[in-house]
């Protein structure tokens, strides 16, 4: 039950922050949903740092991983919004934005995890 509560609290905080960031960065003038892109890249970076810490020091407890990785990052990042926004880009016929957003999200997400792992190795 404690694990479920940790995921619940982290997920609520992550989802709330995602809403704030998404609202702040949403724009009717751009076809690319930069708010979702930003939270997905930031979430990947945070998971990269957590993974790097775990690999380097084995100091992260299971409870902290549940709170931060599963809960917070799971609530903060959003594949369903990513998929919906891509669907909308396809439906509108904006194939260039669809391709850029999809490939950019995947590439930047993987890069952010890699940088997060690297940062966790550099920080003592």
Token pair for residue 71? 């809960």
On whether the CB atoms of residues 33 and 26 are closer than 8 A, the answer is yes
Cβ burial of 33 (10 Å; 0-12, 13-18, 19+) is: buried
Compute the C-alpha angle 96/43/23, nearest 5°: 65
Does 77 count as an annotated binding residue? yes
Residues flagged as binding site for Na(+): 74, 77
Binding site, by residue number, is: 74, 77
């Amino acid at each position: 039950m404690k694990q479920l509560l940790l995921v619940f609290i982290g997920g609520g905080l992550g989802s709330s922050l995602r809403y704030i960031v998404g609202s702040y960065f949403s724009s009717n003038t751009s076809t690319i949903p930069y708010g979702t892109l930003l939270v997905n890249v930031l979430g990947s970076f945070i998971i990269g740092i957590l993974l790097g810490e775990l690999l380097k020091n084995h100091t992260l407890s299971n409870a902290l991983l549940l709170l931060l990785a599963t809960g917070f990052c799971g609530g903060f990042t959003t594949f369903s919004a990513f998929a919906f926004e891509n669907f909308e880009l396809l439906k509108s016929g904006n194939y260039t934005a669809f391709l850029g957003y999809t490939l950019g999200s995947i590439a930047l997400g993987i890069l952010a995890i890699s940088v997060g792992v690297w940062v966790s190795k550099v920080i003592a």
